[in-house]
Every structure is written in C-alpha cells, then in structure tokens.
C-alpha cells in the first residue's frame, strides 16, 4: 500500500530526489497518460528520463514529497518485471488484484519499489539481505535490488549519506513498512543482530507495528496485519490484508 499519513510529523523534506533514502516508485502501464493527468493538475515534474529499469519521471506532491513513476519495457527479463506482467494479466482478466478493493486507474499498476539511496552499497546490501532477510535478485556496481514480495522491490542505490538515527518515527518525513507474518519472531531476529529499535511495539486493532533503523540511520517499519479473528477493539480487517495473508499461506505451502 501507499499510505499518506496525517499524523503529526516534521515539516522538513529531503531536498533532492537523487539522495532521498525513501523514494516510492509507482509502476505505470502508460507513463505518458499518467503524466498528462498530472499536468492537468499543475503537478511539478522535476525530472524525467530513461535508465536500466525503463522510462521514469519524478514529481513532487502538494506536500513536497518526491515520487517516481516508472514504466518498464514489455520485453524486460528482470524477474520482478516478469512477475509484474503476470499480475497485470490477472488484473485484465479479473478486474482487480485484491477482492473487495477498488481497481487502480488503467494506466497505473501499483507500487513498483522503494529506492533507498545509501552511502555504502555493499554494507547496506548485506544488512537488508542477511539481517532483514530480503533476497538479492540483482546486483550491479551502482545498485542492488532486493525482493520484497509480490513484484515489489527495495532498490539500494549509491548517492545517499548516513544520518543520525531518529528517536521516534515522527521525526522522519518518509519511511516504508515491510509486512511480516510473525512480528515477534522477526523482532527476536532484529534483537539478536543488535538492530537499533526506534519504536518497539505499536499495538492497534488490526495488527502490530514496529520501527527500526538500518546501519545508516534510515527508518524502516515492520508490521503484522491480522485476520478478522485476530482483530481487537471491534476493528475490521482490511480486504488487502486478508488477501496478502492468503497469498503468504499459498506461497508457504
């Protein structure tokens, strides 16, 4: 999910998309169509071009957060692009990925990846693969791509810098959250590897959430969302959470 939050947070923003540690990338089916829609609303497109991942454009939303749009070549052999094409076929056949969830516009497929610009590419790739547990699917001198599941990736790219670790999640304007199946088990792994905990356990009706820092001081969340039977305080399980849990069980067979 892509989730803008209205919680109290810092007013500062990262000044440059090329060094931002949390840059969301939206996978487009028709990039030109999405850009035309943005221009109708006078959205500021700050960069565009083509790289090894496909055509891209970067814009700032009304709160000055950077967001990248990307359209991968239809003949791409990258594993994540192949899975994404399969998902796109599913959407064409069944109108939506997630039962109970309204379909996206036809020119947008979903979240493609999170780009995290880092200072030490090798060390950060080791942290996210060995400690966090994300498989490396692509490695190059300028970037490392790790699989986050369901055709979503974490892209580590050179060009970032280390920061002082935050004391609370609300000190950071942008972050991403990994969905986990076993919050307590994942937490024990983090503690065993002496990962810095920022917010240890945030319990809410539909699940439980925590935040940590990577070795360069950048924030990451991890969250377990419950089935309806596990929800508390009269909360109702989200359709996308039940579908994600179903896919996890299917994958684990």
- Ranges of each domain in the chain: 14-161, 162-253
Closest CA to 23 of 53, 55, 65, 80: 65
Question: How far from chain centre, in Å, is Cα 12?
Answer: 21
DSSP label at residue 121: H
Who has greater pLDDT, 94 or 121? 121
Q: What CA–CA distance (Å, rounded) separates 139 from 156?
A: 9
Residue 7 banded pLDDT, cuts 50, 70, 90: low
Residue 97 has pLDDT above 70, yes or no: no
Would you state the pLDDT for residue 227?
85
Interacting residues of 115 by C-beta distance below 8 A, sequence separation 6+:
20, 22, 23, 25, 68, 155, 157
Q: Which of 45-54, 76-85, 183-192 has the lowest mean pLDDT?
A: 76-85
pLDDT digits (tens, 9 = 90+) for 125-134: 999 999 999 9
Who has greater pLDDT, 50 or 241? 50
pLDDT digits (tens, 9 = 90+) for 192-226: 999 999 999 999 999 999 999 999 999 999 999 98
Average pLDDT value for the chain: 90
The reply to whether the predicted model has a pTM over 0.85 is yes
Who has greater pLDDT, 8 or 25? 25
- The domain 14-161 is classified under which CATH number: 3.40.50.720, 3.40.50.970, 3.40.718.10, 3.10.180.10? 3.10.180.10
CATH class of 162-253: alpha beta
Q: What CA–CA distance (Å, rounded) separates 28 from 36?
A: 13
């Amino acid at each position: 999910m892509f989730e803008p939050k209205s919680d109290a947070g810092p007013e500062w923003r990262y000044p440059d998309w090329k060094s931002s540690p949390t840059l969301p990338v939206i996978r487009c089916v028709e990039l030109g169509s999405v850009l035309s829609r943005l221009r109708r609303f006078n959205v500021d497109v700050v960069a565009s071009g083509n790289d090894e991942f496909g055509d891209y454009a970067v814009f700032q939303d009304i709160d000055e957060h950077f967001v990248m749009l990307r359209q991968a070549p239809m003949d791409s052999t990258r594993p994540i692009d192949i899975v994404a094409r399969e998902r796109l076929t599913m959407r064409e056949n069944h109108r939506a990925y997630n039962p109970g969830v309204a379909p996206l516009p036809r020119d947008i497929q979903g979240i493609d990846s999170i780009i995290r610009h880092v200072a030490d590419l090798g060390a950060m790739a080791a942290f996210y693969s060995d400690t966090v547990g994300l498989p490396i699917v692509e490695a190059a001198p300028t970037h490392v791509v790790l699989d986050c599941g369901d055709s979503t990736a974490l892209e580590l790219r050179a060009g970032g810098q280390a920061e002082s670790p935050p004391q609370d999640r609300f000190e950071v304007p942008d972050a991403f959250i990994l969905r986990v199946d076993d919050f307590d088990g994942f937490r024990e792994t983090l503690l065993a590897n002496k990962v810095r905990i920022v917010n240890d356990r945030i319990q809410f009706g539909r699940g439980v959430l925590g935040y940590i820092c990577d070795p360069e001081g950048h924030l990451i969340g991890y969250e377990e969302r419950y089935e309806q039977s596990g929800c508390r305080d009269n909360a109702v399980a989200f359709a996308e959470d039940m579908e994600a849990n179903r896919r996890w069980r299917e994958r684990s067979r």
